Chains A and B, each alone.
Chain A
Amino acid sequence: MSRFHFTQTDVQRLESQAQQLRRDIVSMIYAAKAGHPGGSLSAVEMITALYFHVMNIDPSNPDWLERDRFVLSKGHACPALYAALARRGYFDPALLNTLRQYKSILQGHPDMNKVPGLDMSTGSLGNGLSIGLGMALSAKLHRQNYTTYVMLGDGEIQEGMVWEAAMAANHHDLKNLIAIVDCNGVQINGWTNDIMTLEPIADKWKAFGWAVVEVNGHNMKDVLTALHTAGTMRKPTVILMRTVKGKGVSFMEDESKWHGAAPSEEELVKALSEINMGGVV
């Protein structure tokens, strides 16, 4: 059965998994007393869909050459990725509370040589799509069928290098490369469009030769459908997912101050309570 096929049961399972990742994210950032909750929480449904349904991966063989690749170009959202890898079985979830600690495998930004299942070290914005481009070229070179997914922040696409990579993906006809832009509309100092106008985002990607799929990034069914659609395109495809920064925790939503801040104990309790009660929109 295609990895893109899904049932209502799958959707419910994945929604429940997404809430687990949200609990992990706020808990580990609380434990670390630092981190980036906003952009981690906005990426949760997509990361869940990829790691718990769509991606062709094997946690018992993290270095499997033909696995699908995921590059978290917005590396500061690593709490979401660490939670997914741990819950998927790549390492003990008890390690999540060592985030950012001395000698922890869970660096403040991801290190591929420390974390099992992590495909690339990232953290400096604007670089991940080029890395993904290289991975997609490698698949073509060796006639391997894997897909490379790269998740970028919307603020991140202000970096010029993203567009060098976008141009090259079209030039090399990389149908096996899927970019995902987490359009939560907020960057560290405020709304993205106050800091540097991004719109029309879709037209920019189209002009660079990409297929564009737009989706509500917090609707699991739509996210799964978007990934399916992206996988059938005959050219490099970008999924623009409209999201809410800090999604699932009311006081973090749409607030740039939660781009990079840890909750207090009281805030953690409130956040966990809201996540436990909350469904997805």
Chain B
Amino acid sequence: MALATRMAFGHELIEIAKTREDFVVCNADTKTCGLEKFGEYFPGREFSFGIAEQNLVGGAAGLAACGNKVFIATFAVFASMRACEQVRTFVCYPNLNVTVIGTHAGLQVGGDGATHAAIEDVAIMRSFPNMTVVQPADAVAARAIAHAAVDFKGPLYVRLHRNPVADIYDPETYHFEWGKANTVADYGSDMTMIVSGILLKKALDAAAILKDQGVGVRVLDMVTIKPLDKEAVIKAAKDTGAIMTIEDHTIFGGLGSAVAEVVVQNCPVPMEIVGIQDRFGESGDPELLYRDHGMDVDSIVKKTKALVGKRLCKLKMK
């Protein structure tokens, strides 16, 4: 199966709404994740705010202040920046029960280019007190998060991608737990890749290639970016002596920074932060963009070998 995480999440929420009446949806006029049709399926439970994201978030906060569980859906760029202050001051500060669904994350947006590709939304959202940040790697995880989000209390940011990605997880066995990393592959103790979001597939492909070349790495899926699974990060540092983070987000302030904050304060080891370099996105095939930013499988393989080299160098110095 290949489905975009945004569509998996939105469709699952519609499925859940058939048996759960305890949440509402607020939409700006965007095609995000299928929730545009929520009002057609569940009249009265969806509110249209038009092309007005600040009012969208403010209205959602008012609904939540009256005890409603509210889902709002828009592009991640608009949720995190056009309505940044509304999310911060009127959702996070009063600690209201609003789930912000940010779609079209990262370079995977492709053709729409820099204006529509959210490359800094994780950095922004995770800096707000009370905010929880999650990012599924595939449709299976996205569906599981949809269920968890309905029962979640408080401000939540769900980061979703535009284009279809192959399933990684088996829906029969996948289990989502808030704040817990999943170990997805364990080929040895030369290094740990900590990944959040759809680049997990590239990490797994790279790990398989590295295994054949005699480099054994572990791969963790950090589905919850905040609160971060600190134990898993410290364990990775202690067990494998080097960490590479991989994310479809700027190298500043996202997963890489979150992991580095834990590593430097607990168990300093060499790190490599794989992500979008210090420049805006642009139009083009996402795979070409990923290669350009050193986020493709070949680059991950090369960077892993270099990092493992640094790790060995450090071990010798001891």
Binding site for B on A (CB under 8 A): 65, 69, 71, 111-113, 119-121, 123-124, 127, 129-139, 141-142, 148, 161, 164-165, 167-168, 171-172
Beta-carbon contacts of B22-50 to A below 8 Å, as 1s and 0s?
A: 00100000000000000000001101111
Q: Which 9 A-B pairs have the closest CB atoms?
A: A134-B62, A130-B58, A164-B55, A138-B66, A164-B52, A134-B59, A131-B62, A134-B63, A135-B62
Taking a contact as CB atoms under 8 Å apart, the answer to whether B94 and A137 are in contact is: no
Nearest B residue (CB) for A159: B54
Residues of B within 8 A of A137 (CB): 47, 59, 62-63
Q: Quick check: B65 and A131 within 8 Å, CB to CB?
A: yes
Provide the bound-state CA to CA distance between A268 and B85, in Å.
Answer: 36
| Interchain CB contact under 8 A, B63 and A138 | yes
Tell me the smallest distance from the CB of B154 to a CB of chain A, in Å: 12
Q: How far is the CA of A111 from the CA of B57 in the complex (A)?
A: 18
Question: Separation in Å of the B283 CB from the closest CB of chain A?
Answer: 29
Contacts A130-B62, A161-B58, A165-B59 given; does A141 touch B52 at CB 8 Å: no
Q: Report A-chain residues with C-beta under 8 Å of the C-beta of B24.
A: 141
What's the minimum C-beta distance from B53 to chain A, rounded to whole angstroms? 9
Does B68 make an interface contact (CB < 8 A)?
yes
Residues of chain B touching chain A, judged by Cβ–Cβ distance below 8 Å, are 24, 44-45, 47-50, 52, 54-55, 57-68, 85-86, 89-90, 93-95
Q: Which residues of B contact A119 (CB under 8 A)?
A: 65
Contact A65–B68 (Cβ < 8 Å): no
Identify the interface centre among A69, A121, A123, A134: most chain B CB within 10 Å of its CB. Answer: A134
Given contacts A134-B66, A135-B65, A137-B47, contact A165 B55 (CB under 8 A): yes
Least CB distance, A76 to chain B, in whole angstroms: 14
Report whether over half of chain A's contact residues are helix, strand or loop; otherwise say mixed.
helix
**Chain A residues whose CB sits within 8 angstroms of the CB of B68 once the complex forms:** 138, 141
Interface centre among A111, A138, A141 (most CB of B within 10 A): A138
Q: Can you show 5 pairs from A to B with CB atoms below 8 A apart?
A: A69-B66, A141-B68, A164-B50, A168-B49, A168-B52
A121 touches B90 (CB 8 A): yes
Chain A nearest Cβ from B98, distance in angstroms: 10
* Bound form: Cα–Cα A165–B49 in Å: 9
* Shortest distance between the CB of B257 and any CB in chain A (Å): 27
Chain B CB within 10 A, most for which of A127, A129, A130, A167: A130
Beyond A141-B45, A167-B52, 7 additional pairs, beta carbon < 8 A: A113-B94, A127-B58, A133-B58, A134-B65, A135-B62, A138-B66, A165-B55
A135 touching B50 in the complex, CB below 8 Å, given contacts A112-B94, A121-B89, A121-B94? no
In the complex, A112→B65 CA distance in Å?
Answer: 9
Q: Which of B58, B62, B68, B89 has the most C-beta atoms of chain A within 10 angstroms of its own C-beta?
A: B62
Chain B residue contacts of A71, Cβ below 8 A: 62
Nearest A residue to B51 by beta-carbon distance?
Answer: A164
Instruction: Write out the residue numbers on chain B whose beta carbons fall within 8 Å of the beta carbon of A138.
Output: 62-63, 66-68
Q: What separation, in Å, do the CA atoms of A168 and B45 have in the docked complex? A: 16
Cross-chain contact B50 with A130 (CB below 8 angstroms): no
The residues of B that contact A129 with a CB separation of less than 8 Å are 58
B64 touches A134 (CB 8 A): yes
Least CB separation from B54: chain A residue: A161
Residues in chain A near residue B86, CB distance under 8 A:
127, 130
Closest to A132 in B: B62
Q: Which residues of B contact A161 (CB under 8 A)?
A: 52, 54-55, 58
Q: Are B60 and A134 interface neighbours, CB within 8 A?
A: yes
CA distance A141 to B68 in the complex (A): 10
Contacts of B61 in A (CB 8 A): 120, 130-131, 134
Q: Which residue of B lies closest to A131 (CB)?
A: B62
In the bound complex, how far is the Cα of B67 from the Cα of A264, in angstroms? 43
> Within 8 Å CB of A141, what residues of B?
24, 44-45, 63, 68
B62 near A113: Cβ-Cβ < 8 Å: no
| Known pairs A141-B45, A165-B59; A65 contacts B66 (CB<8 A) | yes
B52, B66, B67 — most chain A CB neighbours (10 Å):
B66
Interchain CA distance A137-B65 in the complex, whole Å: 11
B54: contacting residue among A113, A123, A164, CB under 8 A: A164
Q: Which B residues are in CB contact (< 8 Å) with A142?
A: 66
The minimal Cβ–Cβ distance linking A62 to chain B, given in whole angstroms, is: 13
Pick the contact of B59: A111, A120, A123, A130 (CB < 8 A): A130
* Shortest distance from the beta carbon of A110 to any chain B beta carbon, whole Å: 10
A138 to B65, CA, bound (A): 9
Whether A120 and B52, one on each chain, are in contact in the complex, defined by CB atoms closer than 8 angstroms, is no
- Residues in B neighbouring A127, C-beta threshold 8 A: 54, 58, 85-86, 89-90
- B58 in complex: contacting residue of A131, A148, A167, CB < 8 Å: A131
Q: Which chain B residues lie closer than 8 Å to A112 at the CB level?
A: 65, 94
Residue of A with least CB distance to B60: A134
